[in-house]
Amino acid sequence: MNTTTASSGTDLDLDQLEALARAATPGAWRSAGVEIHAEGDIAIGVTHFYGMRRSTTASLRVKNAAFIAAANPATVREFVEAVAGPCFNYTDRETDETCCSGCNCAEELVSVGEPFKEVHAENCIVLRARALLAAPVAVEDARDDRIANYRPGQWFDARSLDEMQAFYMSRLPAIREAAKEHGYAIGLHGSTRRDFDLMAMQWREDASPKDALAHAIAEAACGISLNGCYAWEKKPNGRFAVSMPICWTDHGNPEFGDKPSLGHIDLAVIDPSWMILLIDKRAEDYIRDHAETDPDTGAVLFNYGEAGREYHSTLTELAGELRAAMSSASANNDQEKKNAAE
């Protein structure tokens, strides 16, 4: 039996649906009030007749009749054929004797010669519907199996955008766990239909340098990391970004097109050193705009007197504290690596 599951969770028997449509009164149907008529003005049903003990409202009876007339056998069969699509490969079936019950070509099952098989495959609505409904499930199952069986240390070859996206999401838990070990939290943004956009935020004071994070993420994603340092690109607002490949993509598939960065992680990190540079620049700008140097003594004279000096001192002290904190965190990381090596 050929079935498919509707959104309500109910199994729809396509074989029975097509057989019932084929057996019903043929031709176009129309409604007239609560009556349904076939061609030749043949009355074939009503949605209400006098004497019914319980019935719907008058307006709903008319709407029901209109719906029944629209869902006539010809419409049902055209719908099944539209769902089935234009193509079907007969070799997907064993023989034409195994064709569904109620096939629209059943009366022609006389010969099993090759010419008949070709015609039958092209015209049998139910065979085509079966093939179409089964194909996506088979493709999805094969994709899931390939991803489930993937082991880091080799390149995953994504054959479609759906498969590439599914591979991205399958690696995200391992990536987040690796980042956590280095003191970072990972956020995801973008459609994941091109590159895999990840945002890393430092979550601990002793977070690793961004290059150590990038190597850990590459290892978690595909088990293949760059030898040496990554080439980071400076972005606005203190962000540093790097792109790293984690899977191959089949450019023979036209849906990939010329999209850039396919199969790559685009990692963005906010580097705390940027804040130090920003504070240093603020202090320098303040000296330039609100102070002057005494040519005789070399002393800095602030336009706002002691208040200006205090503001400038606060900036320099804050930059110094941040430098000390980063230096301490780096030393702790180095010591942990040394202890782990021993």
Q: How does pLDDT run across 42-70, given as a tens digit for each residue?
A: 888 887 665 555 566 777 777 888 888 88
Crossing angle (nearest 10°) for helices 273-290 and 305-341: 160
- Which neighbouring-strand residues pair with 51? none
Q: φ and ψ at 318, to 5 degrees?
A: -65, -45
> Where does a domain end: 223, 245, 271?
271
Distance between CA atoms of residues 159 and 255, nearest Å: 10
Contact indicator for 54, 141 with CB cutoff of 8 Å: no
120 and 8 assigned to the same domain: yes
Q: What is the pLDDT of residue 92?
A: 38
Burial of 226 (0-12, 13-18, 19+ CB in 10 A): middle
The token pair that represents 273 in the structure block: 């050193």
Q: What is the pLDDT of residue 71?
A: 81
What is the mean predicted confidence (pLDDT) over 166-172? 93
* Cα 244–chain centre separation: 19
Q: How many CA atoms lie within 13 A of 213 on its CB side?
A: 30
Is 147 among the domain residues? Answer: no
Distance between CA atoms of residues 146 and 139, nearest Å: 11
Q: What is the pLDDT of residue 259?
A: 79
Q: What is the pLDDT of residue 94?
A: 37
Is 143 among the domain residues? Answer: no
Q: Which of 94, 98, 146, 96 is nearest to 123 (CA)?
A: 96
Distance between CA atoms of residues 253 and 160, nearest Å: 7
Summary mean pLDDT of the chain: 77
pLDDT of 303 above 80: yes
Q: What is the pLDDT of residue 28?
A: 80
Is 55 among the domain residues? Answer: yes
Boundaries of domain holding 251: 152-271
Alpha helix positions (H), the chain:
14-23, 58-70, 73-84, 114-123, 125-148, 161-181, 210-222, 273-290, 305-341
- Give the rounded percent of residues in the chain with a pLDDT score beyond 90: 25
Q: CA distances (Å), 157 to each of 39, 171, 222, 261, in order?
A: 57, 14, 11, 15
Q: Which of 60, 7, 6, 62 is nearest to 34 (CA)?
A: 62
Place of tokens 């109620």: 102
Contact indicator for 16, 4 with CB cutoff of 8 Å: no
More confident residue, 26 or 211: 211
333 and 302 assigned to the same domain: yes
111 and 161 assigned to the same domain: no
266 and 279 assigned to the same domain: no
| Strand 42-46 versus strand 239-245 pairing type | unpaired
Instruction: Give the containing element (helix H, strand E) for 32.
Output: strand 30-32
pLDDT of 110 above 50: no
262 and 315 assigned to the same domain: no
What is the mean predicted confidence (pLDDT) over 18-27? 79
Q: Give residue 220's pLDDT band: very low, low, confident or very high (50, 70, 90).
A: very high
Distance between CA atoms of residues 73 and 27, nearest Å: 8
Is 146 among the domain residues? Answer: no
Provide the terminal-to-terminal Cα distance of the chain, rounded to the nearest Å.
66
116 and 233 assigned to the same domain: no
Range in 117-131, 288-302, 327-341 with the lowest mean pLDDT: 117-131
41 and 92 assigned to the same domain: yes
Is 122 among the domain residues? Answer: yes
- Burial pattern 301-316, b for ≥16 Cβ within 10 A else e, equals ebeeeeebeeebeebe
**Which is it for the CA torsion 329, 333, 338, 342, positive or negative?**
positive
Is 144 among the domain residues? Answer: no
More confident residue, 292 or 74: 292
Q: What is the pLDDT of residue 5?
A: 53
Q: What is the pLDDT of residue 18?
A: 73
pLDDT of 102 above 70: no
Contact indicator for 238, 270 with CB cutoff of 8 Å: yes
Q: φ and ψ at 243, to 5 degrees?
A: -115, 135
List the 196-202 sheet strands across, edge first: 184-189, 196-202, 264-270, 239-245, 233-234
166 and 125 assigned to the same domain: no
Q: What is the pLDDT of residue 14?
A: 63
Q: Give residue 296's pLDDT band: very low, low, confident or very high (50, 70, 90).
A: confident
281 and 260 assigned to the same domain: no
pLDDT of 3 above 60: no
